[in-house]
Structure formats: structure tokens, C-alpha cells
């Protein structure tokens, strides 16, 4: 029997690939870190090693060196998974029989294809056109379905929802399902049933906590025709769907009074640019290679008053917080931009991430950020919407026009909820509502860095 050693700390990642591999009679051996991996590698001599280097950034090279020294494992092929990987590290990996390197979110069909090549086992993958994405904002799970329904992606969705609930510590979520660029028919009934069944089972939520955004009559008829789904409401307006889940509190709020018509048609017509931060269920056909720009070596220049304000910003004491440790362990050498005219917000985010070894560049206006954008290669951007000269929406439009794809977390004031809907129309999947709490920053960081699929 062939054996695959998987070194990854994510239990959901392990569950998913146990399902994939053991269905083909391949034994899976799971460990959480490189030290455990070295022990298992000697005792089992696997046919393939799958190693997530983010689980142990310091120890994984030692494992590879030990593998090379052992005559039994010297030629064992390795597939590496990583959030990011530098060119210098790529050069170091050459001697260790690395067959493939996948960056996250992982291209599932490409990874399974690599299994086939290495193990000589054929895996059946549904390659029908489909895009299914899942992400979280304010404890609401947003699920976007486009192009069609794919059997494997529907299966993967179950694990993705559980992963998100674990990352964001959600017990029973509210859910918004968004159908766009999709036309379903009677032949899709079975897969549509699987979609709703998987969402209900994996989230453990009730049908009344699920809202659907669609202008496809077939979806509405399907829901109305199923007794178990009749409590699910269908909307053609994103704002109303979110309002129905009581995301916006207060009946007399400005947002509640002025319900502008923001329809699914406008969402479909809007130019959707996808960022790496999305909680994506990624298959190879959906991946676009971002334009590469070298990181600048120079330091930022800030006025003395701004620097003083940053130094005075309150810093949370989160040393004993497990989520903080999880998030911060991955950001060493990350390039992070904070585009916000609020010096306190700049100082808070800057101090938090610089303590973990990230390189944080601050900009007080969108114009300053756009002037510097070609000299930096950012891993994450915190972007305020309301700025005096060039606002956040203008920044997003300029990035789209220049075909620049950075993961963006939008910052919005609590009294301006309508800006969040507009940002989502522009393809932004993640936002934070001011005033920002340190724990919210940590959750968003974990959500960005810890997603596997």
C-alpha cells in the first residue's frame, strides 16, 4: 500500500485529503510539525511527503536535510505548500527533490494532478466550469457561486465553511449565498441540493439564517419547491439581504432610511477583481498570476508629527492571546501598507505588525499610496475609504485600471455602511468597521494567512 506523509497543522486540510487519498487505497499519515515528521519519515518511509512550511518555518529545512541524509528517504518526492516563498528559499530547495510548490490558497485540481504524477494513481476530478468562494465579515459567511456547479468544489465547500468558522470562532453563522454569472436548469437540481445541504450541515445553522442573492428564477423556484428550504429568503438586492440578517443595527440609521437600489445585476456587471486574501476554493482555471514588482529597499518618510502620533498610539497587550500568536507567527518580512489619514489607526496597525517583524508602510492619503505603488510589492493593504484628497474607492479603481492585485481589507466608519456594499461591488471581500479593535485585526490577519483552500 502506498503511503503519503502530510505535515500540516490544519485538521480540516487533513480531513479533506484523507477523503481524497484513502478513497484510492492510499494510506495517509498525519503529523503537525517537522519534528514529528522526521520521526514518522524514518519509521514509515513514505512514497510522498506533503509539507506545509508555514506550520514550522524554522524546522522544515532541518527535515529536508535529514531526509536527504537518509538513504531510505533521500529520493522521496516532496510537495511544498506555503503562504509565500522567497526567491532565495527557492534556490536553497533545489537539492531536496521538491516536485511541486503550491502557494495558498491552493489550486486543488493542480495539487491532485501532482498526486497523480508522483504516485501513478489516477484521481477523478470534475473539471466543469465553476467558481465557489467563501469569506467572512462580521460573523456572516458569504458564499459566492459563479459559472456553474462543480461536484468537487461543492465537496470542498463543506471543509471551507468549517475552516472559516474555526478561524473566526463562529459557533452558528448567518449565511449569504450570492449567485452571479450563472444560469441553472433542471439538470443542476441534484448539485443545487448538495450545495444547500452542505452549507446547512457544515455550518450547523438554520434555514432562516440563510439569505440568497440571485436573479435566476430557477434558484427561487427550487427553494420554494423544497419544504426544508422554504424559510430561506431570496433577494435580488445585496443591501436588503444584509439588512434582513440585521447586519446594520438601528431602524433609524441613515443606511436604513436610504436603501439605494443595489441589485445583483450591478454586481454582475461590476468589474470584479480578486485578491489573494479571499477565502477562495481555488482550482487551476481560476488563478491569475499577479503582476510582479520588486520590493523597494528604501524606508518610508513621515512627518515628525505623524511619527509622534504613531508612537503614542495605544498598543494592546496580547502576549497570552493564542490567536495573536497564530497570526503574528506568519508575518515576518511581510510588506503591509496602511492607507488612512487617521494617525492613531496607522500607529496601532504599524506597532502591532512591526513587533512581529513585518515591514509596515503608512500613507495618509490615497494619492501618496498611488505614487509609491510601483516600487513596492505588498502582501496586505489596510485601506480607509474616506480620505481628503484621493479616497479609497478612487484607489481601488486606479489599482483595477493598472491591473494591480493586492489583498485589501477596507476600513469603514460605522455610520457609513453603504460604503461597504459599494466596496463589495468592486470585488472587495474583507472589511473592518471602525472603531477597530485589536482582536478584529488579528482575526482578519488569521483569516488571510491561515486559509489553505
pLDDT at position 69, please?
95
Q: Is the dihedral of CA 235, 239, 240, 242 positive or negative?
A: positive
pLDDT digits (tens, 9 = 90+) for 340-399: 999 999 998 998 888 878 899 999 999 999 998 888 888 889 999 889 889 999 999 999
Structural domains for the chain: 3-119 (3.40.50.2300), 131-269 (3.30.750.24), 292-449 (3.40.50.2300)
Average pLDDT, the chain: 80
Sheet of 233-235, strands arranged across? 233-235, 210-213, 174-180, 140-146, 131-137, 280-281
pLDDT at position 276, please?
33
Q: Say whether 248 sits in a helix, a strand or coil.
A: coil
pTM over 0.85: no
pLDDT at position 16, please?
84
Checking if the pLDDT of 279 tops 70, the result is no
How does residue 96 score in pLDDT terms, banded at 50, 70 and 90?
A: very high
How does residue 298 score in pLDDT terms, banded at 50, 70 and 90?
A: very low
Checking if the pLDDT of 418 tops 80, the result is no
Q: How far is residue 31's CA from residue 38's CA, in Å, rounded to a whole number?
A: 10
Count of Cβ atoms closer than 10 Å to residue 179 Cβ = 23
In the chain, the percentage of residues whose pLDDT exceeds 70 is: 79
Sheet of 78-82, strands arranged across? 27-31, 3-7, 48-52, 78-82, 98-103
Element (H or E) spanning 136, and its range?
strand 131-137
Checking if the pLDDT of 306 tops 90, the result is no
> Helices 151-167 and 438-449 sit at what angle, rounded to 10 degrees?
150
By the 10 Å C-beta count (0-12 exposed, 13-18 middle, 19+ buried), 57 is classed as middle
Q: How far is CA 169 from the centre of its chain?
A: 16
pLDDT digits (tens, 9 = 90+) for 239-256: 888 888 865 444 444 444
pLDDT at position 449, please?
64
Half-sphere CA count of 373, side-chain side, radius 13 A: 22
pLDDT digits (tens, 9 = 90+) for 4-60: 999 988 777 888 888 889 889 999 999 999 999 999 998 999 999 999 988 777 789
Q: Say whether 347 sits in a helix, a strand or coil.
A: helix
Tell which wins on pLDDT, 424 or 3.
Answer: 3
Count of Cβ atoms closer than 10 Å to residue 34 Cβ = 23
Checking if the pLDDT of 317 tops 70, the result is no
pLDDT at position 324, please?
55
pLDDT at position 26, please?
95
pLDDT digits (tens, 9 = 90+) for 157-203: 998 898 889 888 899 899 999 998 888 999 999 999 999 999 999 99
Amino acid at each position: 500500500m502506498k503511503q503519503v506523509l502530510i505535515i500540516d497543522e490544519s485538521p480540516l486540510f487533513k480531513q479533506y485529503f484523507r477523503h481524497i487519498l484513502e478513497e484510492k487505497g492510499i494510506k495517509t499519515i498525519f503529523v503537525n510539525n517537522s519534528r514529528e515528521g522526521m520521526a514518522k519519515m524514518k519509521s514509515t518511509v513514505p512514497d510522498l511527503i506533503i509539507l506545509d512550511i508555514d506550520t514550522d518555518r524554522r524546522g522544515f529545512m532541518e527535515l529536508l536535510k535529514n531526509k536527504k541524509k537518509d538513504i531510505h528517504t533521500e529520493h522521496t518526492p516532496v510537495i511544498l505548500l506555503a503562504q509565500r516563498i522567497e526567491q532565495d528559499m527557492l534556490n536553497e530547495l533545489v537539492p531536496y527533490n521538491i516536485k511541486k510548490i503550491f502557494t495558498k490558497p491552493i489550486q486543488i485540481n493542480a495539487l491532485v494532478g501532482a498526486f497523480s504524477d508522483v504516485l501513478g494513481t489516477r484521481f477523478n476530478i470534475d473539471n466543469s466550469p465553476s467558481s465557489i468562494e467563501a469569506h467572512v465579515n462580521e460573523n456572516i459567511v458569504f458564499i459566492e457561486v459563479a459559472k456553474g456547479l462543480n461536484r468537487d468544489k461543492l465537496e470542498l465547500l463543506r471543509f471551507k465553511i468549517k475552516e472559516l468558522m474555526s478561524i473566526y470562532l463562529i459557533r452558528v453563522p448567518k449565511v449569504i449565498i450570492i449567485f452571479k454569472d450563472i444560469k441553472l436548469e433542471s439538470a443542476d437540481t441534484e448539485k443545487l441540493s448538495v450545495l444547500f445541504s452542505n452549507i446547512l450541515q457544515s455550518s450547523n445553522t438554520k434555514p432562516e439564517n440563510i439569505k440568497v442573492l440571485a436573479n435566476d428564477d430557477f434558484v427561487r423556484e427550487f427553494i420554494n419547491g423544497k419544504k426544508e428550504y422554504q424559510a430561506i429568503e431570496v433577494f435580488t438586492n445585496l443591501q436588503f439581504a444584509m439588512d434582513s440578517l440585521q447586519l446594520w443595527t438601528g431602524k433609524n440609521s441613515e443606511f436604513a432610511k436610504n436603501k439605494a437600489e443595489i441589485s445583483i445585476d450591478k454586481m454582475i456587471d461590476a468589474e470584479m477583481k480578486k485578491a489573494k486574501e479571499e477565502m477562495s476554493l481555488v482550482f487551476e482555471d481560476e488563478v491569475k498570476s499577479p503582476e510582479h514588482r520588486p520590493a523597494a529597499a528604501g524606508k518610508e518618510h513621515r512627518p515628525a508629527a505623524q511619527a509622534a502620533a504613531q508612537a503614542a498610539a495605544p498598543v494592546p497587550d496580547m502576549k497570552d492571546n493564542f490567536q495573536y500568536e497564530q497570526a503574528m507567527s506568519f508575518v515576518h518580512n511581510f510588506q503591509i501598507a496602511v492607507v488612512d489619514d487617521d494617525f492613531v489607526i496607522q500607529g496601532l496597525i504599524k506597532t502591532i505588525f512591526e513587533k512581529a517583524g513585518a515591514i509596515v508602510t503608512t500613507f495618509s492619503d490615497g494619492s501618496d499610496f498611488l505614487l509609491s505603488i510601483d516600487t513596492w510589492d505588498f502582501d496586505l493593504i489596510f485601506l480607509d475609504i474616506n480620505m481628503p484628497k484621493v479616497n479609497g474607492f478612487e484607489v481601488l479603481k486606479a489599482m483595477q485600471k493598472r491591473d494591480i492585485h493586492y489583498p485589501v481589507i477596507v476600513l469603514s466608519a460605522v455610520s457609513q455602511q453603504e460604503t461597504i456594499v459599494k466596496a463589495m461591488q468592486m470585488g472587495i471581500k474583507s472589511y473592518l468597521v471602525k472603531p477597530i479593535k485589536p482582536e478584529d485585526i488579528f482575526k482578519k490577519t488569521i483569516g488571510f494567512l491561515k486559509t489553505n483552500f
